[in-house]
Structure 1
């Protein structure tokens, strides 16, 4: 299983949106600059986050973005599901996957168990926890902001 760049960048965008506490929200171009993401790619990410009801515009189109609900009620699973409909470690766990060996496949139980652990882990972290950790890292004096930027 590989986490897509949309999910990874979606989390980074959500952190930027969550850290803005003013009533105007944050403009997409500001997220793009802070996170060094192309505005065109960020369009797709923003659209998915809006469609998942995780963010919204403050004053309609061309305005800043804010969270649609509190950061402590948004899990990393919510963010992941904005980009991927379901999380499955192997193809045979996908809802519409047909396997002729399924009835006698003992390894599927292992994969399902592992899948459950990963889903539970994603569901155990909130955006607020990630934001708190980001704030903590930024308060460490010997780390410059360039050391905190993740480029991939």
Structure 2
């Protein structure tokens, strides 16, 4: 399983917005610069996040963006679903039903179980947790950049 670039960048953009939770909102340019994501590419990411109801525009002239829900109410799986089709690690499981061999395949339960574990893991991590971790990493980097005479 490999996540596409939009999913990875979408998670990074959402972490940035989560760190601004309660603020005035963030301009796309700020997100682009802080996360080193092309401004134009970020357009596609923001559009998908808005379509899924994860972010919204801040009211007013020259508005920015903010999370549509509290960071603790948004899971990584919610963000994943904005960019990826339903999680299906193998073709023989998923929305089209089991394959014809499922009843006689020892690996069928393995694939279904693994698929469910991945979904459970992504759903168990919320944006608030990631934002706190990112803030701690940012503070560590700021301290490392300091030097004393």
Q: TM-score, normalised by structure 1?
A: 0.86
The equivalent of 2:120 in structure 1 is 120
CA offset at residue 106 of structure 1?
2.1
> How many corresponding residue pairs?
144
CA offset at residue 60 of structure 1?
6.2
The equivalent of 1:35 in structure 2 is 35
CA offset at residue 99 of structure 1?
3.0
The gaps in structure 2 that reach 5 residues or longer are none
- The more displaced of 109-118 and 85-94 is 85-94
CA offset at residue 114 of structure 1?
0.7
Task: Please give the residue correspondences for 1:91-110 in structure 2 after superposition, counting only pairs within 5 Å.
Answer: 91-96=91-96, 99-110=99-110
How has the CA–CA distance of structure 1 residues 58 and 71 changed in structure 2, closer, same or farther, with 3 Å as cutoff?
Answer: same
The gaps in structure 1 that reach 5 residues or longer are 145-152
CA offset at residue 129 of structure 1?
0.1
Whole-angstrom distance in 2 between the partners of 1:48 and 1:38 = 16
Is 1:79 aligned with 2:79? yes
- The more displaced of 72-81 and 54-63 is 54-63
**Superimposed CA distance per residue, residues 47-79 of structure 1 (whole angstroms, 9 cap, x where no aligned partner):** 110111110001268511000000011000101
Whole-angstrom distance in 1 between the partners of 2:86 and 2:108 = 17
How has the CA–CA distance of structure 1 residues 27 and 3 changed in structure 2, closer, same or farther, with 3 Å as cutoff?
Answer: same
Whole-angstrom distance in 2 between the partners of 1:16 and 1:23 = 12
- The more displaced of 92-101 and 43-52 is 92-101
The equivalent of 2:144 in structure 1 is 142
Whole-angstrom distance in 1 between the partners of 2:107 and 2:62 = 50
The equivalent of 1:150 in structure 2 is none
